[in-house]
Structure 1
Amino acid sequence: MSEEEQPSPTDLAKLVSDSVEDLLHDAGVVPNLEPMTPREAVNEYFKVRDLKPKTKNKHESSLGFFVDWGENVAGISEMNFLSGSDLKDYRVWRREESSEQVDELSPKTEETEQKIVRKFIKVCGTFDAVRPGLHEHVLIPDLDDEDEVRNTVLDSETVKQILEHLRKYEYATREHVIWELFASAGPRLGGIRSLDVDDYERGDSGPYLKLRHRPDTETTLKNGKDGERNVFISESLAEVLDDYIKDQREDSEDKFGREPLLSSKQGRLAESTIRNYVYAWTRPCVLGRGCPYGKDPDECKAAQRNNWASQCPGSLSPHPIRKGYITQELNSGVLMEHLSDRCDVSEKILEKHYDKRTEAEKMATRKEAMQALTRLEPGYGEK
């Protein structure tokens, strides 16, 4: 699957009735709106809202994340360029990448955050900072009464099918490398985007990746310096990286003179592009599994273009791959303390969000691990 080109005039004519907003956004065309940065829009929002102190504090905290995303992640210079796709990207970023306290927002917290953002965008429409009706693109999750922990995980069989296809038909392409990194090491999106070519090494003890926090050159890890670590990788993944760097990688530097591992002609690959590669390959129709939502792929806009893949209800962001990787490793008996270091996540969060084993399954895993150790060394009182 090659990188998507701009749509032809014929494609635009065919799809315009369903995607006017995104098409205008892609073309850089906006209605006659007031130019306003995200920060200016938030300030204006509080001028026109009469909020009680407690509510205002909550809104300030929530919209502070929106400003951070707009300025430092998405590069939104003016609110009038904001699209529905951007708002979905923000929702995913806020849920999966923004917080240093948790690995992922709970559904209840996400619901609260989305309601605030939806109100903010609606009010922005009253002073012509955004397109009319844009707030309708801010989706509010439906929750069960006890919906505290998100359980979306990309199952191992689907990942296997995707990787088999990429290894056969898209070997050592950028998409292939991205999927191998997510599936083989369980990193966050920001972690793999931060990698430079020099962060991949073949040491005496085997190949590994160096994850480093470099805020001065605009690549950060979620937990800052505390998240820095070396992550060993398999020889098979190392061979893919070797072939990618040799034959497929775009030979470019970012604006700081660094050589990103995941590069484009413009420099370092954008987070939204990495995310789109995951959305694209998790659409159920991509590998011939049909559409569970009853749509004709020839007429479905989410099936026609990769940068609309996120509009497919079945497509997933990178985080469910990370959850699937960690869950699989736990089920295979890998110790929590080892996964905690490898994936930069606390054991407490691992237990709450990832470990779905029953007590009997946990005991069986401990038993197997201890028996394996006693086969290597005499047990207590047996020397």
Structure 2
Amino acid sequence: MDESLPEKVTVPSLEPGENVRDTLMDPDEATAILSFLEQYHYASFDHVLMLLLWQTGARIAGIHGLDVDDVNPEEETIELRHRPEQGTRLKNGADGERIVAVPETTIAVVEDYIDVNRPAVTDGNGREPLFATTNGRMHKRHLSKHVYKWTCPCQYNQPCPADKDPMGCEYTGGYDSAVECPHNTRPHDIRRGAITYWLKRDVPDRAVSDRMNVSVQTLDRHYDARSKEERAEQRRQYLADVALDED
């Protein structure tokens, strides 16, 4: 099964007034990265990181704060919680807390990571961080560096847009070098790409807005990357389906 696209439409909540660049990760890029990681780095730290970023649409702060017990295999959910007194906070505070449903296959990958590859450590508050090093919870800044590395095209066996040889490129090698690559994708663009993908799956704007706890105006202004033509066609099709249901 393709791990890059969610089986369930679960929309992450957004923080009001967020400003973003006019860039986003498209589904083809997400599919290529996740397929490569599944094949060559199954259930690794990076596989789980990229998978949850795409499927939950969460910010790095939300991913950073995840603990092992925030994963619920029975319910097939990931819970994002605001715990500032313990060093992990959500940008929108308690209003940003949410439970995100994910596919069963994603839960299986996360469980395999926990069972096999995650270091058995706790952080300074006695919590078991999901994204851990042998020293405890990985810092948000380093999580972002992992994202920059795995979104460099050469990292997941794609041709370099600048036609550079990865063996001699100044951006390959370490995490700090990958951050400087002009062809990588920043974490927030994964979030925006995931949200746009769900909107393109014919989920009504109002339903997305309500699920995200953000106004339709803010959603349209900062996160909806569909063209005017795409929006019009989806509204037309949605209304046609509603009319058929009422007959």
Structure 2 length normalisation: TM-score? 0.85
Does residue 1:156 correspond to 2:27, yes or no?
yes
CA contact (8 A) 1:231 1:342 kept: no
CA contact (8 A) 1:208 1:233 kept: yes
Deviation at 1:225, TM superposition (A): 0.9
CA contact (8 A) 1:310 1:316 kept: no
Q: How many residues align?
A: 233
Separation in structure 1 between the aligned mates of residue 34 and residue 94 of structure 2, nearest angstrom: 32
Task: Identify the residue that residue 274 of structure 1 maps to in structure 2.
Answer: 143
Letter of the 1:199 counterpart = D
Q: For structure 1, which segment, 287-296 or 320-329, has the greater mean C-alpha deviation from structure 2 after superposition? A: 287-296
Matches within 5 A, 1:189-338: 189-203=60-74, 206-338=75-207
Q: CA deviation digits over 1:235-272, x for unaligned, max 9?
A: 11111111111111111111001111111111111112
Does residue 1:188 correspond to 2:103, yes or no?
no
Deviation at 1:101, TM superposition (A): 5.1
Q: CA deviation digits over 1:110-169, x for unaligned, max 9?
A: xxxxxxxxxxxxxxxxxxxxxxxxxxxxxxxxxxxxxxxx21112211111111011111
Q: Percent identity?
A: 37
Q: CA deviation digits over 1:299-318, x for unaligned, max 9?
A: 22321223321111111211
Question: CA separation of 1:152/1:358 partners in 2, compared to 1, >3 Å: closer, same or farther?
Answer: closer
Unaligned runs of 5+ in 2: 1-14
Highest RCO, 1 vs 2 (Cα 8 Å, sep ≥ 6): 2
Deviation at 1:220, TM superposition (A): 0.5
Question: CA separation of 1:258/1:361 partners in 2, compared to 1, >3 Å: closer, same or farther?
Answer: same
Deviation at 1:343, TM superposition (A): 4.8
Matches within 5 A, 1:364-383: 364-373=233-242, 379=246
Separation in structure 2 between the aligned mates of residue 343 and residue 351 of structure 1, nearest angstrom: 12
Deviation at 1:373, TM superposition (A): 4.6
Deviation at 1:349, TM superposition (A): 2.1
CA contact (8 A) 1:207 1:232 kept: yes
Unaligned runs of 5+ in 1: 1-99, 106-149
Does residue 1:349 correspond to 2:218, yes or no?
yes
Separation in structure 2 between the aligned mates of residue 177 and residue 186 of structure 1, nearest angstrom: 13
CA contact (8 A) 1:252 1:267 kept: yes
Question: CA separation of 1:165/1:256 partners in 2, compared to 1, >3 Å: closer, same or farther?
Answer: same
CA contact (8 A) 2:82 2:89 kept: yes
Separation in structure 2 between the aligned mates of residue 161 and residue 217 of structure 1, nearest angstrom: 36
Q: CA deviation digits over 1:347-378, x for unaligned, max 9?
A: 32210122233444323323433444555x5x
Separation in structure 2 between the aligned mates of residue 329 and residue 257 of structure 1, nearest angstrom: 36
Separation in structure 2 between the aligned mates of residue 208 and residue 278 of structure 1, nearest angstrom: 22
Question: CA separation of 1:357/1:350 partners in 2, compared to 1, >3 Å: closer, same or farther?
Answer: same
Separation in structure 2 between the aligned mates of residue 153 and residue 314 of structure 1, nearest angstrom: 12
Q: CA deviation digits over 1:290-338, x for unaligned, max 9?
A: 3333543222232122332111111121111111111111111123344
Separation in structure 1 between the aligned mates of residue 116 and residue 24 of structure 2, nearest angstrom: 33
Task: Identify the residue that residue 45 of structure 1 maps to in structure 2.
Answer: none
Instruction: Name the Cα RMSD after superposition.
Output: 2.1
SS at match of 2:153: coil
Task: Identify the residue that residue 48 of structure 2 maps to in structure 1.
Answer: 177
CA contact (8 A) 2:76 2:103 kept: yes
CA contact (8 A) 2:45 2:113 kept: yes
Separation in structure 2 between the aligned mates of residue 291 and residue 362 of structure 1, nearest angstrom: 33
Separation in structure 2 between the aligned mates of residue 247 and residue 231 of structure 1, nearest angstrom: 24
Could you say which structure has the higher helix fraction? Answer: 1
Separation in structure 1 between the aligned mates of residue 29 and residue 160 of structure 2, nearest angstrom: 15
CA contact (8 A) 2:16 2:218 kept: no
Matches within 5 A, 1:20-59: none
Question: CA separation of 1:295/1:258 partners in 2, compared to 1, >3 Å: closer, same or farther?
Answer: same
